[in-house]
Structure 1
């Protein structure tokens, strides 16, 4: 604060020193002669006296300055502490007990019976025949030759050594206990029912039908053919035929017909004729039949059972053991060997072979067979059984548990703090002697005289 108050004063002094009048610019312009009364500007006897009369005077000014200081204060702090407190409580535990209960069940008794059933089947009859087939094939002829090949192998030589190895094993120790466990098993009950089953059988039926058949008959027909007497005639007619010419029989195989009119010729003519005959045919007629086919239905019934379940506990014990650990060292030895390498040459030769090719023919015959068809009868018998019924028995058990509780513990600590303290400071400031100034208000500006010869005012 002192620095801020003295800064305007020093700035004013520097400005006054820069002016043209060196003597008159001192002390904030208080040394200027034009501001003084006219009596003061009159010539005086001595320069030193005038100089002393115009010198400034000083006065004491009091200021309040705020300073910071540190002080120690005591503060109360609460620490939170936790503590486990035992609490006893009661709870209800239910034990499972069992009681015997008798009940009656109906047990089915099944019996299988058989009945005879006849049916007709068509049985195929197969016959295998053979035919001869000739073919030409190219047959390869292989010839195997060998050549020597040298090669080098590295043969390993192994040496087995042993070293002692210590290790620790954990040996289990088992303890088996048994406890009763209730479980539900399921029993399967069977029931036989019947449904209608339709099936088709082929029944042979014999019929007689009329078939028309056409046959060819050869008849001898005699025709008259006019002939030239110079045309040779061949006497090669069959025995049933009359001579070809009306003239006497031919003496030679090839002669001229003596009759100029013509000749008779016999020839065979095919005459078709239709006849009717009865044929017996057998055909298979399908027939639908119905039979009772049994089938069995099953359902699952729950049954409550009890069994002993083993529980095994295991504890481990450590045991130190020593064993021989083998290790193998290997060294490689080079060895030269010889081997036979085969190579094959092939030539082809043609060869004719014949083989028997089988083929199968099939015919069907009807055959009547008999089979036994099973059917099941069921009857029920009553049986008394016993089962275990579980029920719960309550009992009270006391348990102790720990509850965490928290509480506050006060303690006092010292804390350093900072505060502002006022302080009174006194300092000297220059003042114009011709001006009456309030001593409590500092004045730093130059005085101004309104009229010459009067007292200067601030």
Structure 2
């Protein structure tokens, strides 16, 4: 009984003393029954787990390409064309002439005359006339007239009338009206505005200080003393009584030479006094500025307008009507008529007439005549003659002349170019990595695994 009570007391002390240890061991809970039911559910075999997921950070190096500009010099060859004088020799062919003498035989023809006497017969023609009498018949024409009777038929036309009754259709026009809807278009004008951008040059005035060398002319006045001049000075005279003339006589004073200085001369002299002045010089530059303005434009649109108008139309109907009209007709009858006309005819009668006429005839008689005539004949004699002729020959001479030849040369020049290259640069950054650590199957305590660090994590 006593042992049982002691065991109960010892159990209570142990329970009381280990309360703090249990509190720390079970995350502040005094016992397992304080945990929620979901936390106490079986989690399976811990040793069967293959890996533990852990988030670590790993440093990764990346290559970044930066754009870099640099300037380099490049040799560019320009083609320059210039005119270069070149001296060359040219052969000129000239045609010259020299005189050459040669002998020719020239025939000389001469006409001579000799007298020849001969007898010739010369015919002598003479025209004579004889009277011839002959009888001729001459026709005499005469126009006569005779009366001829003939019969002709003359038509006689007569207009008669007969009554004809006929039925005619007479059109009767009636005008009716119908309403027609028509669409007309009215033009409406509307003024709209659009934004138009235009560029103006706006003057911008800036001032800069410029040091300017200037000066002024200063007028200085100075005096030049006058010259020393000798002049004759006469003392004032006196009036004295002359008893001989019983009057006062003027006695002039004594004359003496006195040195006197002329008045000074005033002269002006201009002197340039330089000085530096700082002044503000306005510099006006024009800056382009884009402005916007409202530009009006007109928009025309056609608006349909519905209207009703009365359109006339004509209907034609035919009415029958009996009409009697007189129709003219023409009758023709032939009437015989006897007429007389005068017919001309010509009669011919022959008249005998004796005429005398003179008939010319020619007689020929021969006359003997002795004549002397000069007969020309030609004689030929050869004469030697010396003639001169121009014989051409060709000479060559060299002529120096200067020609302008176009010469092309390449002139080098340096051109500065700006090139862009890509330069690699290494950048380090931290990347989150999820790694799994392998678990030893022999582990039985989860706490040991929780305290051990992950061997695959890279810090």
Q: Shorter-chain TM-score: which interval? A: under 0.3
The structure that has the greater radius of gyration is 2
TM-score by length of 1: 0.24
Q: Which has the higher strand share?
A: 2
